[in-house]
């Protein structure tokens, strides 16, 4: 079993989900007392969030690269960034290490294609929804992406940072997300990417008439597949 290096704390609420999913999957496959071999670099998210807010992407990239290098030096044989937004600098992170970096958008695109979906709605932070780094990868796979209007993007972003990253899961926010999903369905979306690793803590499949792509789960399971040399794994 390969050692998985997790760049986490972005926020820790979703990092804990990564840890749970990965270890549960390994236990389900191998049984007994088996668990995953993991190393975690956990950021103080306030520091990273401040870089995001103020546009200090160069400094943020340097921090992410440093984390990846430390994980490789500590023995990580594959690395995952436990957030969608910070895949903005995935290329720079991969270039800094010799071990594979599993890209969350690639894991998501694979699942979308398996379901035969051609047009998806993308929910996430404003950075993920508005900037091209995520949508470009989906486009490469022939997947059309739509995003909410400006007011709805701000609502989604605010719920993430003001509530979900702080461990607050409000029914009123769940309803807002559900109403938004219905709007996006009316615009032609065939599925919805939960493109922030905290969103699946609020919205589950039973809350949506459209298929939901849980990027946290998909990304974590891809890491398990790689670590265990599996072509396909289903918990």
User: Catalytic residues, which ones?
Assistant: 83, 196
Q: Return the axis-axis angle of helices 45-53 and 57-74, rounded to nearest 10°.
A: 150
SS3 state at 174: helix
- The Cα-based distances of 163 to 101, 153, 158 in angstroms read 29, 15, 8
SS3 state at 219: helix
CB 79 within 8 A of CB 72: yes
CB 211 within 8 A of CB 186: no
Q: Residue 99: which of 213, 230, 227 has the closest Cα? A: 227
For residue 150, count other CB atoms closer than 10 A to its CB: 10
**Which H/E stretch holds residue 38?**
strand 38-42
């Amino acid at each position: 079993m390969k050692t998985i290096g997790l760049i986490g704390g972005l926020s820790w609420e979703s990092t804990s989900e990564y840890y749970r999913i990965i270890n549960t999957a390994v236990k389900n496959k191998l049984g007994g007392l088996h668990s995953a071999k993991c190393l975690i670099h956990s950021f103080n998210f306030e520091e990273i969030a401040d870089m995001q807010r103020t546009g200090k992407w160069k400094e943020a990239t340097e921090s992410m690269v440093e984390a990846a290098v430390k994980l490789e030096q500590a023995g990580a044989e594959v690395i995952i960034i436990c957030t969608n937004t910070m895949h903005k600098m995935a290329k720079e992170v991969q270039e800094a290490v010799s071990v594979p970096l599993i890209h969350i958008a690639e894991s998501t695109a694979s699942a979308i294609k398996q379901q035969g979906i051609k047009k998806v709605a993308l929910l996430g932070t404003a950075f993920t929804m508005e900037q091209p780094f995520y949508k470009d990868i989906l486009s490469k796979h022939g997947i059309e992406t739509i995003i909410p209007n400006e007011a709805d993007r701000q609502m989604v972003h605010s719920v993430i940072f003001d509530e979900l990253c702080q461990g607050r899961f409000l029914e009123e926010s769940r309803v807002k997300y559900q109403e938004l999903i219905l709007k996006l369905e009316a615009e032609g979306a065939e599925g919805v990417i939960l493109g922030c690793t905290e969103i699946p803590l609020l919205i589950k499949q039973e809350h949506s008439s459209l298929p939901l792509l849980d990027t946290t789960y998909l990304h974590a399971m891809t890491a398990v597949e790689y670590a265990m040399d599996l072509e396909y794994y289903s918990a």
